[in-house]
């Protein structure tokens, strides 16, 4: 059995679309819901049997304590490991695609115990277009592993591994299997998301002297929305306008930006001229 673990925060609109897609490779699910207020918990409970949702961990962050991402992911992994030693980790805006079947993937995991598999992280910009500029040209990510024993994450405050590294590393290449990422489908939504992380890091540096990544890394990621795109033969499996019906200015990310800018007198960290700051 392959168990998928996923962390989510106020992304019910994505969960509803992704769960049927995730079932292509996952037999069961373990979720960690982070301070959700949009009905995600209720939806998952209502559909627990339909999607074989094995466990739902609820957490509410204490803003007065520095949050350590690897600690949270360790709790999630420990829960998933109770059900299977073959573990898949996806964010709410990701799904697996490719020519490989679930049976073939499970066979690969059975034959390669204590191995972490890295996959291409494919950045969709439309129904059948993807980014290939800068770091997004064949960028790899850790999302699948097969273990003999429980493993431990390297401690890091942000940008943690998604799964703890096994003793051996391997890669599954497209078109066999890859991770489809939805982040770049809507420029306004992604701009608010990336600016949120700039502000989040700024606050953590100010309050806790946290060691965060350089703000320029977010600018490199966005690349002023001047992207190089190519066609891909695997069409997007969700509606290309999935973010269009969501108002990002009503979400927790934008509310955190506004509150933090006022509270800490944060200067404009480059909001790409989009009026986010």
pLDDT at 62 over 70: no
pLDDT at 222: 94
Query: If we measure between CA atoms, which residue out of 31, 9, 115, 114 comes closest to residue 75?
Result: 31
How many CB atoms are closer than 10 A to CB 223? Answer: 14
For residue 175, which phi and psi values (nearest 5 degrees)? -85, 5
pLDDT at 63: 67
pLDDT at 210: 85
pLDDT at 80 over 80: yes
pLDDT digits (tens, 9 = 90+) for 105-147: 999 999 999 999 999 999 999 999 999 999 899 899 999 999 9
Range 7-14 average pLDDT: 96
pLDDT at 277: 93
**Mean pLDDT, all residues of the chain:** 95
Q: Which fold has domain 2-181?
A: Spore Coat Polysaccharide Biosynthesis Protein SpsA; Chain A (3.90.550)
Range 254-266 average pLDDT: 96
pLDDT at 67 over 90: no
Q: How confident is the model at residue 184 (pLDDT cuts 50, 70, 90)?
A: very high
Distance CA 115, CA 89 (A): 14
Distance CA 143, CA 141 (A): 6
Q: How confident is the model at residue 49 (pLDDT cuts 50, 70, 90)?
A: very high
pLDDT at 41: 97
**Sequence ranges of the chain with CATH classification 3.90.550:** 2-181
Range 60-85 average pLDDT: 90
- Judged on CB neighbours under 10 Å (0-12, 13-18, 19+), 53 is middle
Question: Which are the contacts of 272, defined by CB distance < 8 A and separation ≥ 6?
Answer: 191, 222, 224, 225
pLDDT at 64 over 80: no
């Amino acid at each position: 059995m392959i168990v998928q673990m996923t962390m989510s925060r106020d992304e019910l609109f994505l969960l509803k679309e992704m769960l049927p897609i995730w079932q292509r490779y996952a037999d069961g699910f373990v979720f960690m819901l982070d301070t959700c207020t949009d009905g995600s918990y209720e939806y998952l409970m209502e559909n627990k049997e339909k999607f074989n949702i094995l466990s739902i961990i609820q957490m509410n962050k204490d803003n007065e304590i520095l949050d350590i991402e690897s600690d949270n992911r360790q709790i999630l992994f420990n829960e998933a490991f109770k059900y299977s030693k073959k573990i898949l980790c996806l964010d709410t805006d990701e799904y697996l695609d490719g020519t490989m079947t679930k049976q073939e993937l499970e066979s690969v995991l059975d034959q390669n115990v204590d191995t972490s598999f890295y996959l291409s992280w494919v950045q969709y910009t439309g129904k059948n277009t993807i980014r290939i500029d800068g770091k997004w040209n064949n960028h790899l990510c850790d999302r699948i592993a097969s273990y003999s024993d429980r493993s431990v994450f390297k401690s890091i405050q942000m940008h943690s591994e998604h799964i703890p590294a096994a003793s051996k590393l391997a890669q599954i290449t497209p078109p066999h299997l890859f991770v489809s990422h939805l982040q770049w489908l809507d420029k306004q939504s992604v701009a608010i998301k990336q600016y949120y992380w700039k502000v989040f890091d700024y606050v953590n540096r100010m309050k806790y002297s946290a060691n965060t990544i350089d703000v320029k890394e977010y600018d490199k990621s966005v690349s002023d929305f001047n992207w190089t795109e190519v066609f891909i033969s695997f069409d997007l499996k969700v509606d290309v306008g999935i973010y269009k019906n969501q108002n990002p200015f009503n979400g927790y990310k934008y509310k955190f930006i506004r509150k933090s800018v006022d509270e800490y007198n944060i200067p404009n960290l480059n909001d790409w001229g989009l009026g986010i700051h």
